[in-house]
Amino acid sequence: MLIAGFPAGAWGTNCYLVAPAAGEECVIIDPGHEAAPGVEEAIARHRLKPVAVILTHGHLDHVASVVPVCGAHDVPAWIHPRDRYMLSDPEKALGARIGEQLLGELTIGEPDDLRELSDGAELSLAGLTFTVAHAPGHTRGSVTFRLPEQADVPSVFFSGDLLFAGSIGRTDLPGGDHAEILRSLARVCLPLEDSTVVLAGHGQQTTIGRERASNPFLRALAAGPEAADLAAPRRGM
């Protein structure tokens, strides 16, 4: 399996291109702010053919390039229905203070072919099967994508802004809910195998085992309800 990832834009948001191998079809995950050039460079370097864009949530730093990327390759995009409004009204999702800084330089709106994700859905794309988990808390429509273990390749978990190496997503923006993100972490992340590779929306690669042992939020959730006493971080968007 080939996974080409790079940080893009003002927030260093990770965009991923996933394919069975070089020279094959691929899926693009979270083409955010200023991600289009990096997407095109990765496509050319690995000789890939995009077939879909899938989005972990609707914040600008994860979706700002979805319209040009989908348009350039004539592919559909997928998003959870509770975050769909953010594509056309990002200021409502971020608050005016953040939204006003970027709206003038972005292509706002939905791609021509936009489809909706649901909890537990299995997306068969580019010869791969992505399992969708609705994981609200960072936004109401946040989701994660998981690829199953294959031969010598461990399961891969695209966590969006639910789980980071050493931290979790912020919940202070419109639609965020700290208690709800803790429930999502407990329901979606804690049952995963320790060997599961975590590719988050921001920051470095990690594993569920490493986070279970060292991430203060997962440690507290595994121990009991005192996780609610940990202050929510304010990383990224």
Whichever domain contains 68, its CATH number is: 3.60.15.10
The set of residues, in sequence order, having a beta carbon less than 8 Å from that of 205 and lying 6+ positions away, is 165, 197, 198, 199
Q: How many CB atoms lie within 10 A of CB 55?
A: 29
What is the average per-residue pLDDT within 11-22?
96
The pLDDT of residue 89 is 81
Would 203 be classed as within a structural domain?
yes
222: confidence class by pLDDT, cuts 50, 70, 90 = confident
- Confidence band for 2, pLDDT divided at 50, 70 and 90: very high
| Region of residue 155 (left: phi > 0; alpha: psi -120 to 50; beta: else) | beta
Domain holding 15, by residue range, is: 2-229
* Helix 66-73 with 36-46: angle, nearest 10 deg: 40
Look at residue 235 and tell me if it is in a domain: no
Q: What is residue 99's predicted lDDT score, i.e. its pLDDT?
A: 47
- Examine residue 165 and state whether it is found in any structural domain, yes or no: yes
pTM reported for the whole predicted model: 0.92
CA 82, distance to chain mean position in Å, is 15
Positive/negative CA dihedral, 211, 216, 217, 220: positive
Read off the pLDDT of each residue in 60-89 and give the average, rounded to a whole number.
95
Is 137 a domain residue?
Answer: yes
Closest CA to 102 of 190, 38, 13: 13
Mean pLDDT of 210-227: 86
Across 218-237, average pLDDT = 71
Count of structural domains, the chain: 1
Residue 216 lies in a domain: yes
Q: Which is higher by pLDDT, 14 or 98?
A: 14
pLDDT digits (tens, 9 = 90+) for 4-13: 999 998 889 9
In the predicted model, is pLDDT for residue 93 greater than 70?
no
**Considering the domain boundaries, does residue 237 fall inside one?**
no
207 located within any domain:
yes
In a domain, 234, yes or no: no
